[in-house]
Chains A and B, each alone.
Chain A
Amino acid sequence: ETGVTQTPRHLVMGMTNKKSLKCEQHLGHNAMYWYKQSAKKPLELMFVYSLEERVENNSVPSRFSPECPNSSHLFLHLHTLQPEDSALYLCASSQDPPGLRADTQYFGPGTRLTVL
């Protein structure tokens, strides 16, 4: 247990569906992250929130929409996804805002997403 939980753990959705991934951290951290992990590709950083403000958006398509209502919760809203968006989506958190010092990131178990 890393103190970061993600729900659901598995999700299957059609291309016209709208769904949301949820991440919650119980560590009192100030920064949260969304990553995409695809087979045989490096882990891709998608979004970074620091103190509830988005500080990084690495050219992610608009069909992925993050939301950070408070420092403990992070959502990833999904709509009109493509089959190539099927992947493991990992949430992470760190004590300090990114870049301040060693970013020890604590990861959740991930949501395995399949888009049909």
Chain B
Amino acid sequence: GEDVEQSLFLSVREGDSSVINCTYTDSSSTYLYWYKQEPGAGLQLLTYIFSNMDMKQDQRLTVLLNKKDKHLSLRIADTQTGDSAIYFCAESLVSGTYKYIFGTGTRLKVLA
């Protein structure tokens, strides 16, 4: 079955880079996404990548996709305390039926 996995926690110091990793099992994914959830709020889309791309950069965010290893990562440069949140990886699939699968989320804590 389809599965998206992430590590649960990550701590970094302010100003350092953060790298949040995600692995997925279904190779028929069309798009992969990164969402951010702050306390008491819904999910906010940060960025997405089409499955035939290797990399996408958007200001401080860099997404890397390794299709062979089914591995997705989100790098946040110059991490700030405001980046502390839960980050969710997700994939969308259309293979007979529609699926949108989220990982368990990685809680990022930025230390001042």
Contact = CB atoms under 8 A, between A and B. Distances in A.
Given A99-B94, A102-B48, A102-B50, A90 B42 contact: yes
A98 B97 CA distance: 10
Given A2-B42, A109-B41, A103 B103 contact: no
B45 to A, nearest CB: 5
26 contacts: A6-B42, A40-B104, A42-B101, A42-B102, A43-B88, A43-B90, A43-B102, A45-B99, A45-B101, A48-B98, A55-B98, A56-B98, A90-B42, A92-B43, A98-B100, A101-B31, A104-B45, A105-B43, A105-B45, A107-B42, A108-B42, A109-B40, A109-B41, A109-B42, A110-B41, A110-B42
B5 to A, nearest CB: 9
- 4 smallest beta-carbon distances between A and B, as pairs: A107-B42, A43-B102, A99-B94, A107-B43
B4 interface: yes
| Size category, A interface | 20 to 34
Contacts of A105: 43, 45, 100
A5 to B, nearest CB: 10
Kindly name the residue among A6, A43, A90, A98 whose own CB sees the greatest number of chain B CB atoms within 10 A: A43
Interface of A: 2, 4, 6, 33, 40-43, 45, 48, 55-56, 90, 92, 98-99, 101-110
| Size category, B interface | 20 to 34
Kindly name the residue among B42, B43, B99 whose own CB sees the greatest number of chain A CB atoms within 10 A: B42
Interface of B: 4, 30-31, 35, 40-45, 48, 50, 88, 90, 92, 94, 97-105
A93 to B, nearest CB: 11
User: What secondary structure prevails in chain A residues at the interface with B?
Assistant: loop
Contacts of A2: 42, 44
Contacts of B41: 109-110
Contacts of B92: 98-99, 102-103
Contacts of A103: 31, 92, 100
A19 B14 CA distance: 44
A42 B35 CA distance: 13
